[in-house]
Structure 1
Amino acid sequence: MANENTPTYGNFINGEWSTPQNGTQTSINPANRQEIVGLIPNSSKEDLDAAVAAAKSAQRAWRKLAGSQRGALLFKAADILESRTDEIGETMTREMGKTLPEAKGETARGVAILRYYAGEGMRKVGDVIPATDAEAFMYTTRSPLGTVGVISPWNFPVAIPIWKMAPALIYGNTVVWKPATETSVTAAKIAQCFHDAGFPPGVLNMVVGSGSVIGQGIAEHPDINGITFTGSNGVGKQVGQAALARGAKYQLEMGGKNPIIIAEDANLELAVDATISGGLKSTGQKCTATSRVIVVKGIYEAFKTRLLEKVAELKVGDGLAADTWLGPCANEKQMETVLSYIQKGVDEGAVLLHGGERLEQGELSNGFYVTPAIFDGVTSRMSIAQEEIFGPVLALIEAQDIDEAIELANDTDYGLSASIYTQNIGNVLAFVQDMDAGLVRVNAETAGVELQAPFGGMKQSSSHSREQGQAAIEFYTSIKTVFIKP
């Protein structure tokens, strides 16, 4: 329970921390539900309106700064975030459960993203185009959208909001950010980094609250010009529909059901390690996590045996413990979802070879722990082969040959990431050409995103836009064509 020593966090609006009108709610540690990490806002529509008004008021002066001036502030924010890596990494682990090395690594990635986009302030934003009139000068430039609403999830509470906010800011937009309530203490510490870097009041605002009030409020707000969202398909479609109804620009990054293909000539040890790392790190709570393991017949039994041996060695526990490999699910609802899919897999005829149990012994009884589940005998039509679980569950699917493996890999509504392990160039070329996914990786796990490269999915995994890298400018700005005649 909360006491007088429990830290309380407010909304960050117009350069100041403010008390929400509807009081507070708790952010708890998923490794120990008895521990309250902090009291966080339960914001109202009025809190959101104040944040949007601040962002709208600040946008004109912010966009008039030189790109290098905006970049200098991003560089400062990066330095401050880097100096607080240990504090923010530990907070992240306590709030959502991923291991401390992963949390610190994610924070370091946030630093790198800030520095990358800080440099974008000195890059070109247009081209000179020949005019048909010999006396005229014609060129393109880019204008910011205005105020951008950022809706970010709990699974990457540093990297995802920063890879959305950094390009929004460098290109001259102001931001209203709704972080996931589960990781709002971490979010408050990020907002403080921007504040301490000297960002002008109103340029970055943070409002914490429910998705139905603050998230939907962002999507529907007439003074928010663009919305960038990462989360579930159901919520993403609601956000997109609300934005479309009023003509706002929107960007949705949603689910994945990502396959790894293991060809007969694959390096067995590397393929097993990539399957475990890609599917089970962060407790499988990544949109790019490996979920379907499609193994060609000739290597299937050997792969399965080695996979089970290695998974049995993984230590499940508190992410702050040095020997923990796999932390808890981020919250009770997510744990229940994972357990329900494990039961559904059994009910639909798949064979549970390992794990899939809730751990309730000793200190683990207060946490949301599920042992990694390995299923055999999975067919493509089963729920565990079609629906995103977002947990430590691997579904083994046998393919007769590489052609069937690619066909099975594409047999889903999602198309976010995919990988293949093979030493055959023909397999590589067929996979790269035929795989319907926005990110395809050869001899590497599915869960790997380079910050300088475009990221996004096909089919139901996204709204067909791309995040990160220089591709981000396409969403956060509009092209303006300029024709000048003396």
Structure 2
Amino acid sequence: MKQAIDEMPMTKAIADVLQQLGIKELNPAYSTGLNWGGENNKTTRDIHSPADGNLIASVNMATADDYEQVVKTAQEAFKVWRTVPAPKRGEIVRQISNKLREHKEALGKLVSYEMGKILQEGLGEVQEMIDICDFAVGLSRQLHGYTMHSERPQHRMYEQYHPLGIVGVISAFNFPVAVWSWNAMLAAVCGDVTIWKPSEKTPLTAIACQHIIRDVLAENDLPEGIFSVIIGDAEIGSLMAHDTRVPLVSATGSTRMGKKVGEAVGARLGKSLLELGGNNAIIITEHADIEMALRAVVFGAVGTCGQRCTSTRRLIVHENVYDQVRDRLLKIYPNLPIGHPLSDTTLVGPLIDKDAVKAFLNALEEVQGEGGKLLIGGEVLEGEQYATGTYVTPAIVEAENHYHMVQEETFAPILYLIRYSGDVENAIDIQNGVKQGLSSSIFSTNLLETEAFLTHWGSDCGIANVNIGTSGAEIGGAFGGEKDTGGGRESGSDAWRIYMRRQTNTINYSRELPLAQGIKFDIG
């Protein structure tokens, strides 16, 4: 392994990043925050960068025995962590935030190199982690309940929230660290401990996060098991979903995966937080600022090479401005810089792997078979710079909303261009006419149109934006969607409540025992 690493044509910058973040040639299968395990496991996985195909490092894959060890350690940690006052838990998260600030550039580069998103997006993802830490620190002093009046004299009623226990986090490759932090930092201030199963496609960033926070745990003399990570395949995720010792499982990924997790957790009457597929649309009305809308459309459609759950997949344009929008996009797309994600000039990086490329090509073939018209893009780039076979040209397809492929989410840079006529209600019907309900957007300077979009008969998505795109949520608002998107909410607002158990308390400070509803029960 040492020889293979030394021979890699990896840039010194990446080698320095790996060293700074503690990434070795072969990395252990799990961490309980302070200690590592599974170093001698038989199964390993090589992690190659989609940017240049180079071997970054390898990881040991966890076993069922490893999972059991991690859960037992987390159980013991919870007994201690739940007794720490919430503001003190917030102080630990504040220190983690500072550590992330110190390592922002290095971690952002690793996110970019391992996943393929451009460096600006990699840095932005780490900033998102910092932001959610800051949010959680403030939240640690606001875990409030409610008081209410009792119908019984000299009685007091109130509600309070208690830590839930172990929170299982299953994250996806496209946001390899941010989604974990959304869950882990809120769970931490709530008094929970977390076990993180990252995507097996991007485990190195997860390992790096464990190294970053280790010093904070050690410096504060905290037990291991508060923040754990376990590197494994779908078997580990299945163990977590079926485990009654894990009261909440938060899973991000495809709708197909989410249904399996939800079914397993639901069968044991556990709690699941599902962030699943999106089929997001931007509506451009005839009253839109076209140039502003186009900037949002292009970022939403090609950012992260179309591999965001909030990527813009459908563009619903009024017939009076349809030609103008189409023609401008056809001038913009050929000039999009496609290349290595760490290059400052790149706007479109690679797809995660060749399976994603295959899905991209199959979707284009099928939608054209249904009657769609490919206007631009849809090619796999060749040449030394693109030798990985994971670089594609973003595609625009004229289509109709009822096409099968338009109804599905393809995790790739395909933008379906759909024409509408008449009132904005017609566009909203098209937008809502899919199974998914994550993010949505309208561009219009007409108040009547934008307000209609935001009504309860307007967008049916969990996120509805006006004059900004579908992609790029802030951590202050709860993130999530409806329908096949899963219905979960993560990050800001009052999303913290799902990480806690709710309890109603009634206190009798009289010497009588009146019953509710005036019930008389005299035992003499």
The amino acid that maps onto 2:314 is: R
* CA–CA separation in structure 2 for the residues paired with 1:470 and 1:62: 24
Measure how far apart 1:156 and its partner are.
0.9
Measure how far apart 1:132 and its partner are.
2.9
1:81-480 equivalence runs, <5 A = 81-198=100-217, 199-211=222-234, 213-376=235-398, 378-401=399-422, 402-433=424-455, 434-462=458-486, 464-480=487-503
Q: Which runs of 5+ in 2 are unaligned?
A: 7-23, 510-524
Summarize deviations over 1:213-255 as a string: whole Å, max 9, x none. Answer: 1111110112111101110001100001101111111111100
1:7 match: 25
Contact 2:441 2:469 in 1 (8 A): yes
* CA–CA separation in structure 2 for the residues paired with 1:135 and 1:432: 45
* CA–CA separation in structure 1 for the residues paired with 2:34 and 2:215: 10
The amino acid that maps onto 2:52 is: N
Aligned-residue CA RMSD (Å): 1.5
Contact 2:171 2:253 in 1 (8 A): yes
Summarize deviations over 1:22-73 as a string: whole Å, max 9, x none. Answer: 432111100122x111111211111111111111111011011001111011
Tell me the secondary structure at the aligned position of residue 312 of structure 1. Answer: helix
2:518 match: none
Tell me the secondary structure at the aligned position of residue 306 of structure 1. Answer: helix
Q: TM-score, normalising length from structure 2?
A: 0.89
* CA–CA separation in structure 2 for the residues paired with 1:87 and 1:295: 41
Measure how far apart 1:14 and its partner are.
5.5
* CA–CA separation in structure 1 for the residues paired with 2:445 and 2:490: 31
Measure how far apart 1:13 and its partner are.
2.2
Measure how far apart 1:79 and its partner are.
0.4
Contact 2:38 2:66 in 1 (8 A): no
Contact 1:31 1:367 in 2 (8 A): no
Summarize deviations over 1:182-236 as a string: whole Å, max 9, x none. Answer: 111111111222222115311111001102x111111011211110111000110
* CA–CA separation in structure 2 for the residues paired with 1:141 and 1:41: 42
Contact 1:32 1:367 in 2 (8 A): no
* CA–CA separation in structure 2 for the residues paired with 1:410 and 1:14: 43
* CA–CA separation in structure 2 for the residues paired with 1:63 and 1:430: 45
2:513 match: none
The amino acid that maps onto 1:57 is: E
Contact 1:384 1:395 in 2 (8 A): no
Tell me the secondary structure at the aligned position of residue 27 of structure 2. Answer: coil
The amino acid that maps onto 1:29 is: S
The amino acid that maps onto 1:186 is: T
Q: Which runs of 5+ in 1 are unaligned?
A: none
The amino acid that maps onto 1:49 is: E
Contact 2:250 2:274 in 1 (8 A): yes
Measure how far apart 1:128 and its partner are.
2.0
* CA–CA separation in structure 2 for the residues paired with 1:158 and 1:113: 12
* CA–CA separation in structure 1 for the residues paired with 2:301 and 2:33: 41
Are residues 1:29 and 2:49 paired?
yes
Which segment is superposed worse, 300-309 or 453-462? 453-462
Measure how far apart 1:4 and its partner are.
5.6
* CA–CA separation in structure 2 for the residues paired with 1:66 and 1:389: 45
The amino acid that maps onto 1:292 is: R
Which segment is superposed worse, 294-303 or 344-353? 344-353
The amino acid that maps onto 2:238 is: Q
* CA–CA separation in structure 2 for the residues paired with 1:459 and 1:140: 30
Tell me the secondary structure at the aligned position of residue 445 of structure 1. Answer: coil
The amino acid that maps onto 1:475 is: I
Contact 1:262 1:295 in 2 (8 A): yes
Contact 2:339 2:385 in 1 (8 A): no
Measure how far apart 1:367 and its partner are.
4.2
Contact 2:129 2:181 in 1 (8 A): yes
